[in-house]
Amino acid sequence: MDASQLLKQIPSTSIKKIELITNPSAKYNPEGMSGIINIVLHKNSNNGFNGSFNAGATFAETPKFNNSLDMNYRTGKINFFGSGGSNFGENFNGGKIERFDNNSQQLLDIVNDNESYLYKLGMDFYINDKNTLSFYTNRNAATGEGLVNTDIRYLNNDLSNVYQSAFYSTNNHNNTYNLAFKHIFAKDGHTLDFEGNYNTYKQKQNATFDTSVFEILNPSTLLDQVIYSDHIKDNRKNATFNVDYVNPLNEKSTLEVGSEARIVRTENQYETGNIVVPVTGQKSNYTYDIDIFSAYATFGQKFEKFSYQLGARFESYKAKANLNNGATTFEDDYFTLYPSAYLTYNLNDKNMFQLSYSRRVDRPSLEQTKPIREFSTPLVTSLGNSELEPQFTNSLEVNYTKMFAKNSSFTTGVFYRIIDNEINRVLYNDESTENPNDLIMSYDNFDNNTAFGFELSANYKITKWWDVQPAIDFSSINQKGLVSVLRSGTTDTFDFVTKELKVSAFNARLNTNLKANKRLSFLLFGFYRGGVDGIQNNSKEMYKIDSGARYTLLDDKMTLSVRFNDMFDTMKFAFDSKNPYPSHGEFTWESHSVYLGLNYRFGGGKNRALQRKFRDDNTKKGGGGMF
């Protein structure tokens, strides 16, 4: 289960704090180039009943609604907990891609109508003060319908205009079963945790594509029409088992060891054909299995001004892909060491320096590997790459933190990263068709890339009622990869050419909070992401400003909130590209919106379910989008 879905299950009142760990130790799964988010929940407390209700509505082109109910009841040695929620509404997206070589426009209009329902039930059994057994299950059912209209217009050209209407319907179910045991030894901080997690995911998608070709001089005259359908079934099973042991050997030293086993089984079935006369031979099945076994150890010591931690994670990774019962196979089997090291120097209670190193991995997701259509337009078909390899990152950071009065702080740091086999989107000519305008969008591994830069951030409390948190980062990036280039003097012959470039990236963020009184507060947030040139596309700058307010009442039991997202409607994704054809694209979504929220807390207890270590799925997030 990924982080976004996990966060949807956790009511805001259950969260004590959220920590961003940019260079995590070997204790954590080595997933992600940018680090991890550690969610710290409130601990269990006294007997009693408590809960919270959340409801929200987002108003954009159409309204979207969400709600959730979270409850805990503890009596004696047993704590019961449960939650339920739903999300539903329509989402609109649109965009255009202009081709300059043939003077064409591809206009896209996308509507998705989705609804999802989730519930969670569980129980903690406090055997005694030292031992706790916990179990929960959650179920998530979601349905959705999507309509994608694609209008391809050739301006001042002898090619016929094309219009396609694609209708998608999906139905998926996600079930999770979790069992955990925690033992607390007599010594403070001495703990042993066991956790087992089993997850099943099933999805069915049916799609119908209606493509029409119109006469050039008389656009209302239909020349040809093709209707076909796709049917995709996706079944996944994921079992994870963990052991974590923490032992403070003395006041200065701490030892942590643990292990994890992750077993993933996936199966996809794909069928396509004409609605009237099915196309023979257009059926395929794809399986993708992963076995990951790992063990880690970290050792740290604290002295008067210095502290350090050394760690290592040993991991065995096996992946096997099978298309059409062995017609095409791919296997990956390797053993990897993920070391980590931290050295901290506290000059005094106001100044701290830290040096850190870690090795991390981004593994390709199922969507990035399966050679089955993800989406399709008359000119672009998105497919996965079963031979995609994991992306590894070696990261070195040096940070300095200065503390001021009023809990204000300033942090600056520099970093250097070496990225092996970086996973990126690629676009190339579809050689399986006779039309040179047809393209395949997939994923590929680029060569070794590097990035170095600096980061500045601050948390400054100007007055008792006003604080600001500015942040900027700058990086210089070296990239190298293959691109599909049209051979000079031809109109339909392409070559893969190595492209290398050095670019800079700049980002800025500003968050500020103002407290009008004990009940009413305001916030303002802005961010800017500079344009960055890439191997495939040159992305343009993105920026927006949000604002909001919160008001508490009923002895702080109820909170009303309003948030104005992208106030000036400036958010969009735009790019320029030279390969395989010179083009420009722009895409927009319902970023400009207003959110109204309500949170009500009830009950006298302060109970929370047993806190579990957050465990991501160690995959590079991707799929589900055009760029």
pLDDT at 222: 83
pLDDT at 414: 97
Q: Is residue 387 in some structural domain?
A: yes
Burial of 202 (0-12, 13-18, 19+ CB in 10 A): middle
- Give the confidence band of 103 by pLDDT, cuts at 50, 70, 90: confident
Q: Is the pLDDT of residue 618 over 50?
A: no
Q: Is residue 149 in some structural domain?
A: yes
Q: Is the pLDDT of residue 614 over 60?
A: no
d(CA 140, CA 84): 10
Pairing type for strands 253-274 and 222-248 reads antiparallel
Q: In sequence order, which residues have a C-beta less than 8 Å from that of residue 463 and are 6 or more positions away?
A: none
Q: What is the mean pLDDT of residues 468-479?
A: 95
Contact between 368 and 33 under an 8 Å Cβ cutoff? The reply is: no
Contact between 573 and 586 under an 8 Å Cβ cutoff? The reply is: yes
Residue in 129, 169, 118 with CA at minimum distance from that of residue 8:
118
Q: Which two tokens stand for residue 31?
A: 């997933």
Q: Is the pLDDT of residue 451 over 90?
A: yes
- Give the confidence band of 406 by pLDDT, cuts at 50, 70, 90: confident
Domain count, the chain: 1
What is the chain's length?
Answer: 627
Q: Average model confidence (pLDDT) for the chain?
A: 87
d(CA 45, CA 123): 15
Three-class secondary structure assignment of 94-125? EEEEEECCCCEEEEEEEEEEEEEEEEEEEEEE
- Give the confidence band of 453 by pLDDT, cuts at 50, 70, 90: very high
pLDDT at 626: 47
Pairing type for strands 409-420 and 104-128 reads unpaired
Instruction: Report the sign of the C-alpha dihedral through residues 14, 18, 23, 25, in that order.
Output: negative
Pairing type for strands 466-486 and 532-533 reads unpaired
Q: Which two tokens stand for residue 623?
A: 């799929």
610 DSSP 8-state letter: P
SS3 156: coil
Q: Is the pLDDT of residue 387 over 90?
A: no
Ranges 265-274, 425-434, 493-502: which has the least confidence: 425-434
pLDDT at 5: 47
Q: What is the mean pLDDT of residues 419-441?
A: 83
Q: What is the pTM of this model?
A: 0.84
Q: In sequence order, which residues have a C-beta less than 8 Å from that of residue 448 and are 6 or more positions away?
A: 418, 419, 420, 421, 480
388-414 burial string, b = 16+ CB within 10 Å, else e? bbbbbbbbbbebebeeeeeeebebebe
pLDDT at 224: 85
SS3 12: helix
Burial of 568 (0-12, 13-18, 19+ CB in 10 A): exposed
Q: Is the pLDDT of residue 9 over 50?
A: no
pLDDT at 7: 54
Residue in 176, 194, 196, 182 with CA at minimum distance from that of residue 9:
176
Contact between 375 and 440 under an 8 Å Cβ cutoff? The reply is: no
Q: Is residue 309 in some structural domain?
A: yes
d(CA 393, CA 13): 35
Cis previous bond, 580, omega within 30 = yes
Q: Is residue 523 in some structural domain?
A: no
Q: Is residue 506 in some structural domain?
A: no
Selected residue with higher pLDDT from 272 and 564: 564
Q: Is the pLDDT of residue 13 over 60?
A: no
pLDDT at 43: 47
pLDDT at 23: 62
Q: What is the mean pLDDT of residues 572-587?
A: 92
d(CA 541, CA 526): 14
Q: What is the mean pLDDT of residues 299-321?
A: 94
Radius of gyration of the CA atoms of the chain, in A:
27
Three-class secondary structure assignment of 219-282? CCCEEEEEEEEEEEEEEEEEEEEEEEEEEECCCCEEEEEEEEEEEEEEEEEEEEEECCCCCCCC
pLDDT at 31: 62
pLDDT over 70 percentage in the chain: 87
Q: What is the mean pLDDT of residues 35-47?
A: 55
pLDDT at 357: 96
Q: Is residue 50 in some structural domain?
A: yes
pLDDT at 154: 85
Q: Which two tokens stand for residue 220?
A: 């209302």
Q: Is the pLDDT of residue 130 over 90?
A: yes
Q: Is residue 152 in some structural domain?
A: yes
Q: Is residue 98 in some structural domain?
A: yes
Cis previous bond, 63, omega within 30 = no
Q: Is the pLDDT of residue 536 over 80?
A: yes
pLDDT at 216: 75
Q: What is the mean pLDDT of residues 552-576?
A: 96
Contact between 601 and 68 under an 8 Å Cβ cutoff? The reply is: no
Ranges 157-166, 408-417, 499-508: which has the least confidence: 157-166
Ranges 131-135, 376-380, 479-483, 570-574: which has the least confidence: 376-380
Q: What is the CATH number of the domain that holds 268?
A: 2.40.170
Domain containing 160 equals 3-494+565-620
Selected residue with higher pLDDT from 376 and 595: 595
Q: Is the pLDDT of residue 17 over 70?
A: no
Ranges 26-30, 438-442, 448-452: which has the least confidence: 26-30
pLDDT over 90 percentage in the chain: 61
80 DSSP 8-state letter: E
Q: Is the pLDDT of residue 18 over 60?
A: no
d(CA 514, CA 460): 12
- Give the confidence band of 619 by pLDDT, cuts at 50, 70, 90: low
Q: In sequence order, which residues have a C-beta less than 8 Å from that of residue 419 and are 6 or more positions away?
A: 33, 391, 392, 393, 448, 449, 450, 451
